[in-house]
Structure 1
Amino acid sequence: MLEFVNHFFKAFGATIVVPIMIFVIALCLRLPFKKAVQSGIYAGVGLTGFSWIIGMFTPVVTKIIRQMVDTSRIKLPVVDIGWQAGALASFGSSVGLSFFVFGLIAEFLLFAVGVTKVFMPSNLWNNFGFMIWGTLAYYVTHNYWLSMGLAFFILLYTLLLAEVQADRWSSYYHINNTTVCAAQNIVQTIPAIILDPLWNILKLNRVKLTPQNLQQRLGLFGEPTSLGAILGLLIGILANLTRLGDYRAWGQILQFAVQLSAVMTIFPLVTDVFARAFKPLAESIDQQRRQKVTASGNDASVIDDCKRWFLAVDDGVGYGEPATIISGVLLIPIMVVIAFLLPGNQTLPVVDLIALPFMVESIVAITNGNILKVIANGVVWFSLGLYCSSWLANIYTGAISHYGAAIPAGVVLVTSFNLMARPFNALVFTAFISQNPVWIGLCITVYLVLLFALRRYRPQIWRYLRRQAALNGGKNPGQHD
């Protein structure tokens, strides 16, 4: 049965399976058949657009980054080959496939019984983010049930973090009652919340570095298209420092400037198409919520509505937002330089650097688009992540090669910067593979305490995050009641 599921998913792929899921959910939300079909088609078109753009741009970025590495003459033994190998290995392991089937059932049940207010099945493609950790655990321990338990536990705290940031995410990205719920990207909620008071003490909130401010101050050069060209020019120069006298180097530099400008121009357009798949669903959720509030005679605002729930959407919805893509692109050269300078680091981030806009979405939403804070949080969190991916390199390399992913010729150790550079995930993984009941029990206890706090104090948590967001200026941090 599991093999059939694997072959079925490979045959149709995310661009077919996800739209079908969106279509079914739309019908369940009582959307007209025509709108349900349109939502599904928009989802497929958006995912196809993302895969085309990233598929074409990834080799270009990879080549530029490798040139930067060659210029520095610093060699790091652990090479980032992208998240795709990890996703492939996840579907090649018994634990991964088991979670893909039973995890989906669990996501329905967790939502139905009220453990979470996030409907995760709408974003089932990102389940590989849970599957990869279970796969790694099974490779190390050969304990099927412990590995499944780890994958389910990561699902639990991912749903918790997704709900914590849901009000901010849906408000910032302007799709009511939605949130992102990808295990590989949601943990950035942790540093975004914990470090925000520190950044305010350092007055980073007073630095109005937002897309709106950049456009006001820089005019034409503050628009994403122009910024893309400028950033592409700078990154291209860094990659060609040793051969700036060669006209061919300038050909590559200028081509990369245009290519990056194109990505920062086209991605928001594809993002807008993709978002159309979810907006009718989100509006239906909001309409049904308002009807229930009116019928009950309760005038509670949206932030106080304890029954308010959220649709999990793919983080591609936010990729093209100006602050998100600008912050992510700025972090590309920064993380390469940090990888060189960080004492004890062995990881060279390469292919997954294009995923940085995905990786910073939660930070962008919580800091209300303050680009300086996004970069500061990214530097701290992803630097810790480099140590994590370095430590996990032997396990990750062994697991993905064992479960069917190809290792590039001449490379000894590999990683995925997007999947493995996750301090919190790595910490939980360490506790579970120790097979020590005390450490595992501590993880579960902390989760239960946080879940209790969220269920009891959710409005207060959301109001706090709104107040913190308001200190940064930028977009309107509130949400219409």
Structure 2
Amino acid sequence: MDIILGLVQYFVDLGAAVMLPIVIFIVAICLGQSVGKAIKSGISIGIGFIGIGLVISLMLNNLAPAAQAMSANFGISMNLIDIGWPGSSPMTWASRIALVAIPVAIIVNLIMLALKLTRVVNIDIWNIWHFAFTGAIVDIATGSYALGIAAVAIHAAFAYKLGDWFAPTVEKYFGLEGIAMPHGTTGWFAPISVFVDGILDRIPGIRDIDFNPTHLQKRFGLLCDPAIMGAIMGVIIGILAGYDVRGVLTLGIQMAAVIVLMPVVVKYIMSGLMPISEVARTKLQKKFKNSKFYIGLDCALLLGDPVVVTASLLFIPITIIIAALVPGNQILPFGDLPTIGFFIAMAVGVHGGNLFRTLITGSIVMFLAIWISNQMIGLHTILAANAGQLTNATAQVASLDQGGSPLTYIITQILHTTNIMGLAAIGIFYIICVVCTIIWSKKQYASLDK
């Protein structure tokens, strides 16, 4: 057993850029593709993830210091740095829940498919770490390993349902037919965008506002070209950070590079995944007639959309401002700033590329993520300590990605209640959003069938 767990741990430690190509290669061979095509798909996906890592590193290395400088300039003082998903995922994989989380998530998926409770066939093994994080936090909060495993199963089941509910959006707006996103970041905040969309549709005047970069580019020409918009936003952030002329201009060019390069590297992932997903979907539908399946993939596929990239850059300063407004906030957004696209990608699709609505939803999302992550600091710190990642005994850690997940917070509070008012407020609001999503999703499927 120890040997098997050791092999699984070694496999996980390879990281997404190596782990996913291996998974895709195995899946492709099982689906009957030639070895050459399977290798090509795997390498293409690996290239894409390396590329995304480089672009995110470009953002992290340049935007994060600018964000800190902005905070200092405006007198925003926070004593905890958001470590982001790059910090949270390794400590999650080091937890005693993690290795069991992968088979648990796969078994849950198979059971739901057999019972026709989901159409999602999830092959996004790496992002099971989100489910494992919930399980690890519950394990720490309750002291019960069994409850931790149950939390993994609940989170996995909910993620697959999120994949179902938003598959029409992935197809209609992003053009990815047969693909679903049962992702732990994009997924759990997506229902909020449905709720916001419904509210805005009922407000005269407001419902007619549509800031879409594609529409704006037709009206204002080159000024709204993605590269130029990226440069403008970089310059504005540099000015707010108090940089000199050289620093401002450099940041402008760097952000223009980000907004242009992200869609390019995402295409490599798509070129590797799409042929396999199409074969898998076709074979499943042939075997199970009258059934439609969706292949569950990483939401990195959505990051190439120009509105997603534009909104991601806009939310750098917006998130800093929101952090200053959240009551009792101790966390300075940092590690997750370059990956805010994961938080709001599905909202862009739900809002049909309307940047105005995306900014409203995203602001609510970031407010909730920051507030929830503050409530999770104690448990998050224990998770880091158990993984041996604390620099000293008094250090604390927090993250917006997964640490700020309403699903993780609700499950943990139900099983180990420490804040009944917080549970009631977040729980009721989130349940309303999910109910709205279920109703809305049925309409989306109906429109697809026409």
TM-score by length of 1: 0.83
Residue 300 (structure 1) aligns with: none
- Does residue 350 (structure 1) correspond to residue 334 (structure 2)? The answer is yes
Letter of the 2:48 partner, please give it.
Answer: G
Work out whether residues 162 and 181 of structure 2, in 8 Å CA contact, stay in contact via their aligned partners in 1.
Answer: no
- Does residue 6 (structure 1) correspond to residue 1 (structure 2)? The answer is no
Evaluate the alpha carbon distance shift between residue 13 and residue 350 of structure 1 in structure 2; reply closer, same or farther with a 3 A threshold.
Answer: closer
- Does residue 182 (structure 1) correspond to residue 183 (structure 2)? The answer is yes
Deviation of 1:286 after TM superposition, in Å, equals 5.6
For residues 284 and 11 of structure 2, the distance between their equivalents in structure 1, rounded to whole angstroms, comes to 36
Residue 411 (structure 2) aligns with: 428
What SS does the aligned partner of 1:181 have? Answer: coil
Letter of the 1:27 partner, please give it.
Answer: I
Deviation of 1:143 after TM superposition, in Å, equals 0.7
Q: Root-mean-square deviation (CA), in Å?
A: 2.8
Residue 149 (structure 1) aligns with: 150
Deviates more, 1:412-421 or 1:230-239: 412-421
Residue 320 (structure 1) aligns with: 304
Letter of the 2:185 partner, please give it.
Answer: Q
Deviation of 1:129 after TM superposition, in Å, equals 0.6
Give the percent of matched residue pairs that are identical in Structure 1 and Structure 2.
23
Evaluate the alpha carbon distance shift between residue 198 and residue 106 of structure 1 in structure 2; reply closer, same or farther with a 3 A threshold.
Answer: closer
For residues 174 and 165 of structure 2, the distance between their equivalents in structure 1, rounded to whole angstroms, comes to 15
Evaluate the alpha carbon distance shift between residue 338 and residue 283 of structure 1 in structure 2; reply closer, same or farther with a 3 A threshold.
Answer: same
One of 254, 258, 270 as aligned partner of 2:249: 254
The alignment of Structure 1 onto Structure 2 pairs a total of residues equal to: 435
Deviation of 1:420 after TM superposition, in Å, equals 1.6
Evaluate the alpha carbon distance shift between residue 422 and residue 43 of structure 1 in structure 2; reply closer, same or farther with a 3 A threshold.
Answer: same
Deviation of 1:405 after TM superposition, in Å, equals 2.3
Residue 284 (structure 1) aligns with: 279
One of 197, 217, 226 as aligned partner of 1:215: 217
For residues 115 and 325 of structure 2, the distance between their equivalents in structure 1, rounded to whole angstroms, comes to 48
Deviation of 1:229 after TM superposition, in Å, equals 0.1
- Does residue 267 (structure 1) correspond to residue 267 (structure 2)? The answer is no
Letter of the 1:44 partner, please give it.
Answer: G
What SS does the aligned partner of 1:362 have? Answer: helix
Deviation of 1:419 after TM superposition, in Å, equals 1.8
Residue 104 (structure 1) aligns with: 106
Deviation of 1:171 after TM superposition, in Å, equals 2.3
Residue 192 (structure 1) aligns with: 193
Work out whether residues 213 and 307 of structure 2, in 8 Å CA contact, stay in contact via their aligned partners in 1.
Answer: yes
Question: Structure 1 stretches of 5 or more lacking a match?
Answer: 241-247, 297-304, 468-477
Deviation of 1:287 after TM superposition, in Å, equals 4.6
Deviation of 1:466 after TM superposition, in Å, equals 7.3
Deviation of 1:267 after TM superposition, in Å, equals 0.7
One of 209, 223, 226 as aligned partner of 1:224: 226
Residue 367 (structure 2) aligns with: 383
Letter of the 2:401 partner, please give it.
Answer: N
For residues 429 and 275 of structure 1, the distance between their equivalents in structure 2, rounded to whole angstroms, comes to 35
- Does residue 365 (structure 1) correspond to residue 349 (structure 2)? The answer is yes
Letter of the 1:394 partner, please give it.
Answer: G
Deviation of 1:411 after TM superposition, in Å, equals 8.2
For residues 227 and 25 of structure 1, the distance between their equivalents in structure 2, rounded to whole angstroms, comes to 40
One of 19, 22, 25 as aligned partner of 1:20: 22
One of 70, 83, 87 as aligned partner of 1:85: 87
Instruction: Write out per-residue CA displacement over residues 240-274 of structure 1, whole angstroms, 9 at most, x where no aligned residue.
Output: 1xxxxxxx612111111110110101111001111
For residues 91 and 371 of structure 1, the distance between their equivalents in structure 2, rounded to whole angstroms, comes to 35
Deviation of 1:61 after TM superposition, in Å, equals 1.3
Deviates more, 1:279-288 or 1:63-72: 279-288
Work out whether residues 158 and 186 of structure 1, in 8 Å CA contact, stay in contact via their aligned partners in 2.
Answer: yes
For residues 285 and 334 of structure 2, the distance between their equivalents in structure 1, rounded to whole angstroms, comes to 47
Evaluate the alpha carbon distance shift between residue 329 and residue 24 of structure 1 in structure 2; reply closer, same or farther with a 3 A threshold.
Answer: same
- Does residue 56 (structure 1) correspond to residue 31 (structure 2)? The answer is no
What SS does the aligned partner of 2:244 have? Answer: helix
Deviation of 1:290 after TM superposition, in Å, equals 7.6
Hey, which bits of structure 1, 4+ residues long, moved more than 4 A? 285-293, 478-481
For residues 273 and 8 of structure 1, the distance between their equivalents in structure 2, rounded to whole angstroms, comes to 23
Evaluate the alpha carbon distance shift between residue 289 and residue 18 of structure 1 in structure 2; reply closer, same or farther with a 3 A threshold.
Answer: closer
Question: Structure 2 stretches of 5 or more lacking a match?
Answer: none
Work out whether residues 68 and 239 of structure 1, in 8 Å CA contact, stay in contact via their aligned partners in 2.
Answer: yes
Work out whether residues 120 and 164 of structure 2, in 8 Å CA contact, stay in contact via their aligned partners in 1.
Answer: yes
Work out whether residues 177 and 285 of structure 1, in 8 Å CA contact, stay in contact via their aligned partners in 2.
Answer: no
Residue 415 (structure 1) aligns with: 398
Instruction: Write out per-residue CA displacement over residues 255-311 of structure 1, whole angstroms, 9 at most, x where no aligned residue.
Output: 111101101011110011111112213333565578689xx7xxxxxxxx6x11100
Which residues in structure 2 correspond to 1:197-208 (within 5 Å)? 197-202=198-203, 203-208=205-210
Residue 117 (structure 1) aligns with: 119
Deviation of 1:412 after TM superposition, in Å, equals 3.8
Work out whether residues 150 and 432 of structure 1, in 8 Å CA contact, stay in contact via their aligned partners in 2.
Answer: no
Work out whether residues 322 and 366 of structure 2, in 8 Å CA contact, stay in contact via their aligned partners in 1.
Answer: no
